[in-house]
């Protein structure tokens, strides 16, 4: 297996606060990797560092072997990273179809573009809503639309920041299946998630962040059996969740 994404001694300090602290983490190609940790563990900051939204205080980010630490966000995305943000980031006043066209237009030319957009609309069950303004969709539909936008450009690495936030249990389960299916089709996925049932449904590999550092790593069973992790995150008595 080859390493797709690798951070080395990555740090981001805000004054005295060490949001991410000397974090070295590798994501292998083809992995479905979950990042968990209590609030304030540094998960969101870590994503922003990977995307180039913040300059790091120290350390490097490598993607496909290339050092991308100095690249701006759009250039990183073009190299094959994609993100679905926590708050649904759709273009509210634009029609659903146009949202997807914007996400895909630099990757595909007509007539392939239309074909791809139609395929994705069917994948996320929005074929009947193409003319609707994206802002008028139900919350779960917005989340799916954004997932479709994120995977549309066929990224090598998909970042998902709490993809099921605000979804019903059925929607959450369906989203989990969608993610597993994407991963089966050779997309590497890195997920930040709070919902442990969801993590259990999808994850093959779990990393625990705590106070900006990598605290533990392993399979979901190893992590839930790890007493130190239960201390800081799951809380005693919630074993197995």
Partner 1 sequence: MRAFLSLLNGPQTFGSSRGFWATAIAVFLVALLFPLVGDGYTVGNLAYFGVWVFMALGLSLIWGYGGMLSFGQTAFFGLAGYSYGVIAINLGANYGYPVLALFCALVIAAVLALVLGYFMIYGRITGVFVGIVTLSVTLTFATFLNQTAGPEWRIGRARLNGYNGMTRIPSLSIPWFDGDKITFRGPALYYLVLVLLVLCYLGLRIMVNSRFGNVLVAIRENPERAELLGYDIRRYQLVAFVVGSTLAGLSGVLYTAWGQFIVPAAMALPAAAMPIIWVAVGGRKDLTATLIGTLFVLWLFQTLIVISQQYALIVIGALLLVTILVMPGGYIVWVVENRDAIFNWRRHRAERLAESRAVASDGASE
Q: Which stretch binds partner 1 (CB under 8 A): 27-35, 90-98, 210-218, 231-239?
A: 90-98
Our CB check for partner 1 shows the closer of 86 and 205 to be 86
Q: Is 227 helix (H, G, I), strand (E, B) or coil?
A: helix
Residue window 112-151: x/- pattern of binding to partner 1, with contact defined by CB under 8 A: -------------------------------------x--
Angle between helices 96-104 and 139-152 (to 10 degrees): 20
108 binds partner 1 (CB under 8 A): no
Our CB check for partner 1 shows the closer of 93 and 225 to be 93
Out of 14, 17, 54, 102, the only residue in the binding site for partner 1 (CB under 8 A) is: 102
Whole-number Å distance between alpha carbons of 199 and 196: 5
96 binds partner 1 (CB under 8 A): no
Whole-number Å distance between alpha carbons of 74 and 215: 31
Count of residues of this chain found to bind partner 1 when the rule CB under 8 A is applied: 24
> For residues 50 and 5, is the Cβ–Cβ distance under 8 A?
yes
Secondary structure letter of residue 57 according to DSSP: S
103 binds partner 1 (CB under 8 A): yes
> For residues 143 and 172, is the Cβ–Cβ distance under 8 A?
no
Could you list the residues that contact partner 1 (CB under 8 A)?
A: 51, 72-75, 77-78, 83, 85, 89-95, 98, 101-103, 105-106, 149, 153
């Amino acid at each position: 297996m080859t390493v797709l994404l690798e951070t080395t001694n990555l740090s981001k300090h805000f004054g005295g606060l060490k949001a991410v602290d000397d974090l070295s983490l590798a994501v292998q190609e083809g992995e479905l990797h979950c990042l968990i940790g209590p609030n304030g563990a540094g998960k969101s900051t870590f994503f922003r560092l990977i995307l180039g939204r913040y300059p790091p205080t120290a350390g490097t980010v490598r993607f496909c072997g290339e050092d991308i630490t100095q690249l701006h966000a759009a250039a990183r995305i073009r190299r094959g990273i994609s993100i679905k943000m926590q708050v649904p980031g759709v273009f509210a006043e634009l029609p659903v179809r146009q949202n997807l066209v914007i996400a895909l237009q630099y990757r595909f030319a007509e007539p392939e573009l239309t074909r791809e957009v139609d395929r994705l609309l069917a994948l996320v069950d929005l074929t009947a809503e193409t003319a609707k303004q994206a802002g008028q969709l139900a919350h779960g539909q917005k989340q799916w639309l954004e997932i479709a936008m994120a995977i549309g450009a066929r990224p090598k690495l998909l970042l998902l920041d709490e993809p099921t936030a605000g979804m019903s249990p059925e929607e959450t389960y369906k989203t989990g299946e969608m993610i597993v299916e994407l991963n089966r089709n050779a997309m590497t996925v890195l997920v930040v998630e709070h919902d442990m049932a969801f993590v259990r449904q999808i994850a093959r590999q779990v990393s625990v962040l705590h106070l900006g550092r990598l605290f533990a790593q392993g399979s979901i069973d190893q992590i839930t059996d790890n007493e130190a992790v239960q201390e800081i995150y799951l809380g005693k008595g919630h074993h197995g969740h």
